[in-house]
Amino acid sequence: MTEPRVSEHVRVDGDEHPPGVYRVVGVDDETVTLLRVSDADGARAHTGELLTVDTGDFADFEPATEPPSDASVASRLASLAETAYWSVRAFGQQLAAHPLPAAAAGLVVAIGAVGDAFVSLPDPVFGGLIFVGSLGLAYVGNGLSL
Protein backbone atom coordinates (compact mmCIF):
# COMPACT_ATOMS: atom_id res chain seq x y z
CA MET A 1 0.00 0.00 0.00
CA THR A 2 1.14 3.57 -0.65
CA GLU A 3 1.76 6.20 2.00
CA PRO A 4 -1.36 6.93 4.06
CA ARG A 5 -3.24 10.12 3.21
CA VAL A 6 -5.85 11.85 5.36
CA SER A 7 -9.44 11.14 4.20
CA GLU A 8 -8.62 7.96 2.31
CA HIS A 9 -10.56 4.81 3.23
CA VAL A 10 -9.08 1.42 4.06
CA ARG A 11 -10.50 -1.96 5.08
CA VAL A 12 -9.21 -4.50 7.58
CA ASP A 13 -10.57 -8.01 8.02
CA GLY A 14 -8.03 -9.36 10.50
CA ASP A 15 -8.41 -10.45 14.09
CA GLU A 16 -6.06 -7.82 15.52
CA HIS A 17 -8.44 -4.88 14.87
CA PRO A 18 -12.24 -4.73 14.64
CA PRO A 19 -13.20 -5.51 11.02
CA GLY A 20 -14.68 -2.78 8.85
CA VAL A 21 -13.85 0.27 6.79
CA TYR A 22 -11.76 3.02 8.36
CA ARG A 23 -11.06 6.62 7.32
CA VAL A 24 -7.55 7.98 7.82
CA VAL A 25 -7.88 11.01 10.11
CA GLY A 26 -4.28 11.60 11.12
CA VAL A 27 -0.79 10.79 9.90
CA ASP A 28 2.61 11.51 11.41
CA ASP A 29 6.07 10.02 10.98
CA GLU A 30 5.42 6.98 13.18
CA THR A 31 1.65 6.40 13.40
CA VAL A 32 -1.58 6.51 11.43
CA THR A 33 -4.86 7.35 13.19
CA LEU A 34 -8.03 5.78 11.78
CA LEU A 35 -11.74 6.30 12.44
CA ARG A 36 -14.02 3.29 11.94
CA VAL A 37 -16.86 4.27 9.60
CA SER A 38 -18.49 0.90 8.87
CA ASP A 39 -19.13 -2.47 10.45
CA ALA A 40 -17.77 -5.77 9.16
CA ASP A 41 -20.62 -6.02 6.61
CA GLY A 42 -19.83 -2.59 5.12
CA ALA A 43 -22.87 -0.79 6.58
CA ARG A 44 -22.09 2.77 7.66
CA ALA A 45 -21.58 3.04 11.40
CA HIS A 46 -21.03 6.14 13.50
CA THR A 47 -18.95 4.48 16.19
CA GLY A 48 -16.48 7.18 17.10
CA GLU A 49 -13.88 4.41 17.46
CA LEU A 50 -10.35 5.62 16.85
CA LEU A 51 -7.52 3.25 16.09
CA THR A 52 -3.85 4.23 16.03
CA VAL A 53 -1.43 1.90 14.26
CA ASP A 54 2.26 2.07 13.47
CA THR A 55 3.03 3.21 9.96
CA GLY A 56 4.55 -0.21 9.22
CA ASP A 57 1.37 -2.00 10.32
CA PHE A 58 -0.70 0.19 8.00
CA ALA A 59 0.40 -2.07 5.13
CA ASP A 60 -2.06 -4.71 6.48
CA PHE A 61 -4.99 -2.48 5.48
CA GLU A 62 -6.49 -2.70 1.97
CA PRO A 63 -7.77 0.30 0.00
CA ALA A 64 -11.56 0.66 0.22
CA THR A 65 -14.35 2.92 -0.94
CA GLU A 66 -16.34 5.13 1.39
CA PRO A 67 -19.40 3.28 2.69
CA PRO A 68 -22.69 4.65 1.33
CA SER A 69 -24.92 6.75 3.53
CA ASP A 70 -28.10 4.90 4.40
CA ALA A 71 -30.00 7.85 5.83
CA SER A 72 -33.57 8.13 4.56
CA VAL A 73 -35.11 11.37 3.36
CA ALA A 74 -37.26 11.50 6.50
CA SER A 75 -34.26 11.15 8.82
CA ARG A 76 -32.36 13.82 6.88
CA LEU A 77 -35.31 16.22 7.16
CA ALA A 78 -35.62 15.46 10.87
CA SER A 79 -31.92 16.15 11.30
CA LEU A 80 -32.28 19.42 9.40
CA ALA A 81 -35.16 20.52 11.62
CA GLU A 82 -33.24 19.57 14.76
CA THR A 83 -30.17 21.46 13.57
CA ALA A 84 -32.28 24.55 12.83
CA TYR A 85 -33.87 24.37 16.29
CA TRP A 86 -30.52 24.18 18.08
CA SER A 87 -29.06 26.95 15.93
CA VAL A 88 -31.92 29.32 16.74
CA ARG A 89 -31.76 28.36 20.41
CA ALA A 90 -28.00 28.99 20.62
CA PHE A 91 -28.41 32.29 18.75
CA GLY A 92 -31.08 33.43 21.23
CA GLN A 93 -28.97 32.38 24.21
CA GLN A 94 -26.05 34.42 22.91
CA LEU A 95 -28.30 37.46 22.49
CA ALA A 96 -29.61 36.99 26.04
CA ALA A 97 -26.07 36.60 27.39
CA HIS A 98 -25.07 39.96 25.87
CA PRO A 99 -28.17 42.13 26.38
CA LEU A 100 -26.66 45.58 25.85
CA PRO A 101 -24.99 44.94 22.47
CA ALA A 102 -28.04 42.92 21.37
CA ALA A 103 -30.42 45.71 22.37
CA ALA A 104 -28.29 48.33 20.63
CA ALA A 105 -28.19 46.33 17.41
CA GLY A 106 -31.94 45.64 17.64
CA LEU A 107 -32.61 49.35 18.16
CA VAL A 108 -30.61 50.20 15.02
CA VAL A 109 -32.68 47.67 13.03
CA ALA A 110 -35.92 49.09 14.46
CA ILE A 111 -34.91 52.67 13.59
CA GLY A 112 -34.08 51.57 10.08
CA ALA A 113 -37.41 49.77 9.74
CA VAL A 114 -39.77 52.48 11.02
CA GLY A 115 -37.61 55.62 11.15
CA ASP A 116 -38.90 57.01 7.86
CA ALA A 117 -42.31 57.54 9.51
CA PHE A 118 -40.73 60.00 11.95
CA VAL A 119 -37.76 61.54 10.12
CA SER A 120 -37.41 62.57 6.51
CA LEU A 121 -34.12 61.11 5.28
CA PRO A 122 -33.17 59.39 2.04
CA ASP A 123 -34.28 55.74 1.87
CA PRO A 124 -30.70 54.38 1.57
CA VAL A 125 -30.02 55.70 5.09
CA PHE A 126 -32.76 53.50 6.55
CA GLY A 127 -31.69 50.53 4.46
CA GLY A 128 -28.14 51.04 5.72
CA LEU A 129 -29.36 51.12 9.33
CA ILE A 130 -31.22 47.83 8.84
CA PHE A 131 -28.10 46.31 7.28
CA VAL A 132 -25.72 47.53 9.99
CA GLY A 133 -28.12 46.53 12.78
CA SER A 134 -28.56 43.06 11.27
CA LEU A 135 -24.81 42.62 11.08
CA GLY A 136 -24.60 43.65 14.72
CA LEU A 137 -27.24 41.09 15.72
CA ALA A 138 -25.42 38.40 13.76
CA TYR A 139 -22.12 39.38 15.41
CA VAL A 140 -23.55 39.22 18.94
CA GLY A 141 -25.73 36.16 18.25
CA ASN A 142 -22.75 34.15 17.07
CA GLY A 143 -21.00 34.56 20.39
CA LEU A 144 -18.74 37.43 19.44
CA SER A 145 -18.77 40.47 21.64
CA LEU A 146 -17.81 44.08 21.16
Tell me the per-residue pLDDT of 4-28, one tens digit each, with 9 for 90 and over: 889 899 998 777 888 889 999 999 9
Structural domain harbouring 14:
9-63
CB 137 within 8 A of CB 109: yes
Is there a single domain that holds both residue 79 and residue 59? Answer: no
| Phi, psi (degrees; rounded to nearest 5) at 6 | -60, 140
In a domain, residue 42? The reply is yes
Task: Tell me whether residue 100 is in a domain.
Answer: yes
- Residue 115 near residue 129 (C-beta atoms within 8 A): yes
The answer on pLDDT for 52 being more than 70 is yes
Surface-to-core class of residue 144, CB atoms within 10 Å of its CB (0-12 exposed, 13-18 middle, 19+ buried): exposed
pLDDT band at 39 (very low <50, low <70, confident <90, very high): confident
pLDDT band at 146 (very low <50, low <70, confident <90, very high): low
- Residues 82, 24 share a domain: no
Give the confidence band of 123 by pLDDT, cuts at 50, 70, 90.
confident
Reported as a pLDDT band with limits 50, 70 and 90, residue 128 is very high
Say yes or no: 54 and 79 in one domain: no
Based on the fold, state whether residues 94 and 137 are members of the same structural domain.
yes
For residue 90, being part of any structural domain is answered with yes
Q: Cα dihedral angle (114, 117, 118, 120), rounded to 10 degrees?
A: 110
Across residues 29-36, what is the average pLDDT? 91
Quick check: is 2 in a domain?
no
Per-residue pLDDT tens digits for 67-99: 877 677 887 788 889 999 999 999 999 999 999
For residue 31, what is the enclosing H or E element?
strand 31-36
Closest CA to 143 of 94, 83, 86: 94
pLDDT, average across residues 96-105: 94
